[in-house]
């Protein structure tokens, strides 16, 4: 299993990790199978979406913040229930098929680490099989 470090700079941020994941896959001796990208945190997540126009992740984060605002009638005392919610909904992992030993992603797809309670130093685990 490969480990990747990601450093977020603001509270909500989508960080493109496609290249790092591609490199981890290139190092693995697997031709056909899967790559699992797993986030071992409870206030961050991982997703796949368009990485061409930065307005796409910008709109995504803004709308999520409006549906799941930081301040609400929450009980959890750390003030980050919105981050737990977004992490559970976006999800802690993505599974990407491999083709000829490489990530089989669509033309416009990039892999994003989703920070919902930054800034923090985070980890991403990559398993190829």
Q: Which of 26, 31, 33, 119 binds a copy of itself (CB under 8 A)?
A: 33
Contacts for 95 with CB less than 8 Å, ≥ 6 apart = 34, 35, 36
Q: Which of 18, 22, 38, 101 binds a copy of itself (CB under 8 A)?
A: 38
Note whether 32 binds a copy of itself by CB under 8 A.
yes
Q: Which of 4, 18, 22, 36 binds a copy of itself (CB under 8 A)?
A: 36
Contacts for 108 with CB less than 8 Å, ≥ 6 apart = 50, 51, 52
Does residue 21 have a cis peptide bond before it, meaning omega lies within 30 degrees of 0? no
Contact 47, 114 (CB under 8 A): yes
Contact 103, 4 (CB under 8 A): no
String marking each residue 55-74 x if it binds a copy of itself according to CB under 8 A: xx-xxx-xxx--xx---xxx
Distance from C-alpha of 107 to C-alpha of 48, rounded to nearest angstrom: 12
Binding to a copy of itself in span 71-110, by CB under 8 A: 72-78, 81, 84-85, 87-99, 104-109
- Residue among 9 and 76 whose Cβ is closer to a copy of itself: 76
Contact 32, 75 (CB under 8 A): no
Q: Which residues lie near a copy of itself (CB under 8 A)?
A: 1, 32-34, 36, 38-42, 47-50, 53, 55-56, 58-60, 62-64, 67-68, 72-78, 81, 84-85, 87-99, 104-109, 123, 125, 127, 129
């Amino acid at each position: 299993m490969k480990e990747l470090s990601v450093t977020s700079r603001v509270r909500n941020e989508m960080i493109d990790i496609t290249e790092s994941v591609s490199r981890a896959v290139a190092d693995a001796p697997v031709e056909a199978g899967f790559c699992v990208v797993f986030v071992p945190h409870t206030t961050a997540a991982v997703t796949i979406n368009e990485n061409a126009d930065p307005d796409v992740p910008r709109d995504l984060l803004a709308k999520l913040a409006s549906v799941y605002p930081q301040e609400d009638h929450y009980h959890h005392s750390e003030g980050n229930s919105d981050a737990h919610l977004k992490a559970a909904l976006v999800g802690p992992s993505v599974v990407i098929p491999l083709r000829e030993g490489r990530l089989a992603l669509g033309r416009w797809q990039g892999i994003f680490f989703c920070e919902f309670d930054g800034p923090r130093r985070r980890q991403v685990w990559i398993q190829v099989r």
